[in-house]
Amino acid sequence: LAAREFKPFPTVVKSANVEIGGRKLVVMAGPCAVESEAQLFEAARIVKKAGATVLRGGAYKPRTSPFSFQGLEKTGLELLAKAKTEFGMPVISEVVDPRDVENISESVDILQIGARNMQNYALLTAVGRQKKPVLLKRGLSSTIDEWLTAADYLLAGGNDQVILCERGIRTYETSTRFSLDISAIPVIKRFSHLPVVVDPSHAAGHYALVPAMAKAAVAAGADGLLIEVHPNPKEALVDGLQSLTPSDFSRLMEELRAVAAAV
């Protein structure tokens, strides 16, 4: 169902006044995790001012280690819902448990399925049964074909509002957290009708690498970007090293405008 043979025209995913896969580049930005109202609202103010149109923030954060901060959960969802009305921006947040799908889709505008859950079929089935747009991240070690087949679970459930997200894959390279697969963008464009966005933050693992990777993704034809921004990355509870500062993010947004105008 994700294949171009099945639907020759590009899918445009709509959330409030934002179109993903339309003519304009969509930037989704915000902190990795919602930490407090002050932190989320400050991040929202910054990213909105710089030109982002979707606010990101994790409420449920199962981490590699069970001893790391796991997110504010329900309180995080409430803060996201509050930020959405306060700033008039759709919000995206990750769902990790099929039992939370209903609850989360009441508070957020776009549901994110994390890389580690790309082949969690119970979760895909539950998310496919509801109507909110879904951003499906590519698994750490998944081929593009496996990724598109995972998207079929969402589409088969009746949800046609699916966005793909390349976030880097495992290779033998260790100087970045993951290897961003830029070639996934033209491959998806060739074989699928679904929009594709790129998350340079999780691929890079370091803020210094994020701008170049973001610009490369846009030049290669990505429909959007998902970028981690924190009001004060040094104090971030999660993923501070790969989060952009407010000024670095504003500068990147300026540069992206030039790249987007050229493609």
177 contacts ligand PEP (rule: CB under 6 A): no
CB nearest ligand PEP: which residue? 114
Determine which residue in the list 48, 137, 189, 230 makes contact with ligand PEP, applying CB under 6 A: 137
- Is residue 246 a contact point for ligand PEP (CB under 6 A)? no
State in Å, rounded, how far the first CA of the chain is from the last one.
Answer: 28
Name the residue nearer to ligand PEP (CB basis): 17 or 64.
64
Contact partners, residue 108, CB within 8 Å, separation at least 6: 77, 80, 81, 84, 91, 92, 93, 132
Among 48, 84, 167, 193, binds ligand PEP (CB under 6 A): 167
The single-letter DSSP state of residue 65 is: S
Q: How far is the CB of 139 from ligand PEP (least distance, A)?
A: 9
31, 57, 71, 114: residue in contact with ligand PEP (rule CB under 6 A): 114
Q: Which of 48, 189, 202, 230 contacts ligand PEP by CB under 6 A?
A: 202
The amino acid at 18: V
Closest by Cα among 44, 74, 70 to 57? 44
* Beta carbon of residue 201, minimum distance to Mn ion (angstroms, whole number): 7
* Number of helices and strands in the chain (H, E): 9, 10
CB of 202 to Mn ion, least distance (A): 6
The least CB distance from residue 5 to ligand PEP, in Å, is 28
Stretch that binds ligand PEP, among 5-13, 79-87, 113-121, 204-212 (CB under 6 A): 113-121
> Taking CB under 6 A as the rule, does residue 58 contact ligand PEP?
yes
Is the CB of residue 190 less than 8 Å from the CB of residue 166?
no
Q: Are strands 18-20 and 13-15 parallel, antiparallel or unpaired?
A: antiparallel
Tell whether the torsion through CA atoms of 43, 45, 50 and 52 is positive or negative: positive
Q: Which residues pair with 30 in a beta bridge?
A: 228
Q: Which stretches of the chain bind ligand PEP, using CB under 6 A? A: 32, 58, 114-116, 137, 167, 199, 202
